[in-house]
Amino acid sequence: MPESQAEVQAELMAEAFGFYAENIVTREYLDVALRAAFADQDAKFEKRFAAIERRFAAIDQRFVDIDQRFAAIDQGFAGIAHQFVDLKTELATMINTRMNQQDVKLASIEATMNGNFRVLSALMGVTLLAVAVPTLQGLL
């Protein structure tokens, strides 16, 4: 088939097909059908988005509950920390009191030992004189 004849036939087929296609499916029909399909699709999307939002709201509520539990735990730890501070203060007071008692007791023991040391020193001096004087007299 010559090229010019093929072009003419192609144009005729395009016109005929276009004519029949416009008669079968009009622009208004496509517009209405597409709008309805898009509306259905939008409704499905909205339904899914609403379900997702409900799930997020439930998750947010769980986070609020968890935050409240953590706040209660934090308050408990604050009470425990306060008890530790009180115990530390009480223990420091008890240690200071006991150290003061030990200092007094050690001072008393030291005074007794110093007195005993003086007595022993005097006795050693007397013993030395008692032994050394006769020995020195015997040598002289």
Taken in order 22, 28, 29, 34, is the CA torsion positive or negative?
A: positive
**Average pLDDT of the chain to the nearest whole number:** 88
Rounded CA separation 27/15 (Å):
17
The pLDDT of residue 94: 96
Rounded CA separation 51/45 (Å):
10
What length does the chain have? 140
Could you report the per-residue pLDDT of 31-74, keeping only the tens digit for each? 888 899 999 999 999 999 999 999 999 999 999 999 999 999 99
Residue-range definition of the domain harbouring residue 64: 3-139
- Percentage of residues in the chain having pLDDT higher than 70: 91
Total number of domains constituting the chain: 1
Rounded CA separation 105/37 (Å):
100
pLDDT at 26 over 90: no
Taken in order 129, 132, 137, 140, is the CA torsion positive or negative?
A: negative
The pLDDT of residue 55: 96
